[in-house]
Amino acid sequence: MTPSASAPAEKNAPHFDLPSDITVKVERQPTGDATKDAVLRDLAYAAQARLEAFATGNSRTVNMNRYYGIYALNYWANRVATLKKQGVTITGAYRYFGFQVTDVTNGKTAAARYCEDQRKAYGKEIKSGKVLRTKPSAKDFILNTFQVAKTPSGDWQIVQESWKKADASCVQG
């Protein structure tokens, strides 16, 4: 799954407005459980919504509002605003893998995780377009853990999120 500006094929799937210098690779396998698959699908959409917010400098996109609950949405709004104020955006390749639902409660809340590979993802100066390249390291692998809740419209929205850089369960050679 590598959506950028094209519309995904799933019913009611979001459209992401990503610039051509950003690529996304989502490595997510079906679990066979409809609820878990929906949670993981929406987490993948949320990751792309966050990239879209950073790339456009707008944290209140339709996709951010759809896939992030109030506390998580406010946190990322502040992060996007800070980066934009610093004159920086994002570029490069982002890869998401190791998707797993660790708990589902009453079909309304869930805990989940995935790994993120940012070895080929960089900051970019907005004015000059200069890519701020960094040397790849274990810190480019991030374990993201989530608490999500089902919205009345049926989407799984992130309500709480944490991450750990260089987590051994995500680091790859």
Nearest to 116 by CA among 92, 84, 85: 92
SS (H, E, C) 83-150: HHHCCEEEEEEEEEEEEEEEEEECCCEEEEEEEEEEEEEEEEECCCCCEECCCCCHHHEEEEEEEEEE
How far is Cα 44 from Cα 6, in angstroms, rounded to an integer? 15
pLDDT tens, residue by residue, 11-68: 889 999 999 999 999 999 999 999 999 999 999 999 999 999 999 999 999 999 999 9
Instruction: Please state the pTM of the whole predicted model.
Output: 0.92
pLDDT reported for residue 3? 40
> Which is it for strands 156-165 and 141-150: parallel, antiparallel or unpaired?
antiparallel
CB–CB of 22/90 below 8 Å?
A: yes
**Two structure tokens written together for 145:** 């853990």
Determine phi and psi for 55, rounding to 5 degrees: -65, -35
- What single DSSP character describes residue 68? B
**Two structure tokens written together for 2:** 């590598």
Examine the pLDDT at 173 and tell me if it is beyond 50: yes
pLDDT reported for residue 9? 62
pLDDT reported for residue 73? 96
pLDDT tens, residue by residue, 87-144: 999 999 999 999 999 999 999 999 999 999 999 999 999 999 999 999 999 999 999 9
Domain positions in the chain are 22-165
pLDDT reported for residue 63? 98
Per CATH, the number for 22-165 is 3.10.450.50
Q: What is the residue whose two structure tokens read 């996304």? A: 24
pLDDT reported for residue 10? 79
Element (H, E) at 44: helix 34-56
Question: Residue 7 — very low, low, confident or very high, per pLDDT cuts 50/70/90?
Answer: very low
